Homo-oligomer: A and B are copies of this chain.
Amino acid sequence: MTAAVKVAVIGTGLVGSGWAVVFARAGCDVALYDSVPGAAERGREVVAQQLRDLAAHGLIAEAPEAVLGRVSVARDLADALSGAAYAQESTFERLDVKREVFSAIDAAIGPDTLVGSSSSGIPASAYTDHVACRSRCLVAHPVNPPSLAPVVELVPAPWTAPETVRSVRALMEQVGQSPVEMTREIEGFILNRLQGVLLMEAWRLVEEGYATAEDVDRTVKDGLGLRWAFMGPFETIDLNAPGGVADYARRLGPLYRSIAASTAEHKVWDDAVIGTVEAQRRAVLPADGLAERRAWRDRRLMALAAHKKDAEA
């Protein structure tokens, strides 16, 4: 009989709780740790709620209680890390916080535990340079919630051992996530770089009065974003010209080069346009409706995940 793999979840806010769901759902034993007293217990309640929601959408095979039975609250950081094959760090995204938590992990970690950081943009080299276990650290950036959006970006620091990347990749595949690998660090990784450049052009179209934020959103959700929910941008253009991607690039290259030239210089993340978009969004959705709309989004993501599971079966 093989013992279940143990995973430590360090930092049990929304992202950490989501990771606990992913690992426990796949059969791992999960130990929760948060430096704020009571936070891990609250995180376990979030896990319980997420498991009930997943069960309601047919997205877990077992009863929610059975999965939750594999999630425990650790006494302290050393207890969480003890015997863990892997630790997922999901603390606040600020350099000093990350540096401190990696120091604490380093002091308590055993010789065989690997550590992935949920950092959404800061490379691991910025907060693992000083720790003895640094060859066993990397970024493992999820989309929230990881139980519904399976991608995880694996980004090694210069000192991350290739074996660390291989092992974390294998674990992520084993628990049903969809790992992508960067060969080296770049700020924002893949996901937030792609999101960033699209947002910059979106801000600009609103700032210069070409269209409203609502119409920009509609262009994506009722058009551009549909294929991207099940194919990536390269496969999309590969199928959009008779001869594939090179044929597409030949046909559309002049248009896109001309667009590129026109995007070279414009203000980004400017306070004025942020105010404009904020006002347009609040007209559509008042601030006191945000929480309810987030619950709607999560139901839609869950329904989309169930749909994709069916469509891929």
Contact = CB atoms under 8 A, between A and B. Distances in A.
Interface stretch (A38-46, A96-104, A228-236): A228-236
A3 interface: no
A1 interface: no
Contacts of A303: 307, 310-311
Interface in A269-302: 269, 274-275, 277-278, 281-282, 285, 287, 290, 293-294, 297, 300-301
Interface in A17-59: none
Interface stretch (A4-12, A71-79, A187-195): A187-195
Contacts of A69: none
A301 to B, nearest CB: 6
A216 B244 contact: no
A186 B211 CA distance: 11
A125 interface: no
Contacts of A153: 219
B223 A149 contact: yes
A147 B214 CA distance: 22
Contacts of A259: 187-188, 192-193, 196-197
B229 A149 contact: no
A131 interface: no
Contacts of A281: 234-235, 238, 244-245
Mostly, the A contact residues are helix
Interface in A206-223: 209-211, 213-223
Nearest to A265: B264
A158 interface: no
Contacts of A121: 255
A197 B301 CA distance: 26
Count the copies.
2
A110 interface: no
Interface stretch (A60-68, A81-89, A160-168, A174-182): A174-182
A237 B206 CA distance: 15
B231 A216 contact: no
Given A143-B226, A249-B269, A311-B300, A218 B151 contact: yes
Contact of A223 (B151, B210, B219, B275): B151
Contact of A226 (B199, B214, B229, B233): B229
B197 A198 contact: yes
B275 A256 contact: no
Nearest to A260: B268
Contact of A220 (B197, B233, B249): B233
A156 to B, nearest CB: 11
A231 B214 CA distance: 10
22 contacts: A143-B224, A187-B259, A190-B210, A191-B224, A193-B259, A194-B202, A194-B220, A197-B263, A213-B232, A216-B232, A219-B232, A226-B305, A229-B229, A234-B277, A234-B281, A238-B285, A239-B294, A244-B278, A256-B269, A260-B269, A303-B310, A304-B307
